[in-house]
Amino acid sequence: MDISVVIPLLNEDESLPELHSWIVRVMESNSYSYEILFIDDGSTDNSWQVIQELRASNEHVKAIRFRRNHGKSAALNEGFQAASGDVIITMDADLQDSPDEIPELYKMIQEQNFDLVSGWKKKRYDPLSKTIPTKLYNGMTRWMSGIKLHDMNCGLKAYKNEVVKSIEVYGEMHRYIPVIAKSAGFDKIGEKVVQHQARKYGVTKFGLSRFINGPLDLASIMFVGRFGKRPMHFFGTIGFSFMLIGFITLAYLSLRKLIWNVGGIAERPAFFLGMLLIIVGVQLFIAGFLAELIARNATERNSYSVAERVGL
């Protein structure tokens, strides 16, 4: 199968028929073999009934329904596991992503051999209250992750099948799938300017909380990606450094007192700083040791992304 289109949705019953017709038109005009995967993230409107009607008229439509709302990350992860196409296209269900971009995204994966291609909504039809924070958020993400994408959170993306089968998306990590993919070894990440449509139906499902939670999620991904299997390297290094600085500080104060008989030790602020550094350093070292024990006993401690096997 050429393409799997994965569409997470929440209360988008008005837009689904139009989106479905648009996707089918693009697929048939390009003679693609395809499937459309609708992931209903606990909708409370008629979205599931509409999906069932679409399924009855088109065998290429497949669907998964959550009993309650679990979030976009959970919906995408479920769709990734179910998708069977060579190229996986994700898009939002609100008609703000154009299916006309699919052929070019498909070519970039198949012909230019990108692992992942992210859309860039260079011209947006959103209020300033959304576009300005988005630019700040994307700028910070580029700086922290080193991935030079202008629109990290664009819902319109294309992936090789092996990429989506090698990563897990949970919590609110859907914003950082390129970062997760890079940490899994898929570092050929491209970008394409895509058309952004003004919202035609319904209301946005995302609030300003994403600009607060976003940096925390990014820090978590980067830490786990770098130190998840060797936490002692992080906690132990910082803990040992604190202990060393604290020991040197206390040793210096002791020598001043014992050799040069200069002032008291306990009256100096440096004494309390040295003690604090040693205590915090010991705690960090122990935290690293315990984290290392947990990591070594984790079932996924040797889960790696294998690029190729020959003769096996």
Superfamily assignment of 3-227 in CATH? Spore Coat Polysaccharide Biosynthesis Protein SpsA; Chain A (3.90.550.10)
pLDDT of 133 over the 90 cut: no
**Helices and strands, number each (H, E), in the chain:** 10, 7
Give the three-state DSSP class for 248.
Answer: helix
Over residues 255-288, the pLDDT tens digits come to 887 877 766 777 788 889 999 999 999 999 899 8
- How far apart CA 4 and CA 10 sit, in angstroms, is 20
| Percentage of the chain modeled with pLDDT above 90 | 52
What is the greatest pairwise CA distance in the chain?
Answer: 92
DSSP string, 196-215: BPPP-SS-----TTHHHHHH
Q: What are the domain boundaries of the chain?
A: 3-227, 231-296
pLDDT at position 305 is 52
Find all residues with CB under 8 Å of 15, minimum gap 6, and list them.
Answer: 93, 94, 95, 200, 201, 202
Global pTM value: 0.74
Q: Mean of the pLDDT values across residues 13-29?
A: 96
What percentage of the chain's residues is helix, strand, coil (to nearest 5)? 50, 10, 35
For the CA atoms of the chain, what is the radius of gyration? 25
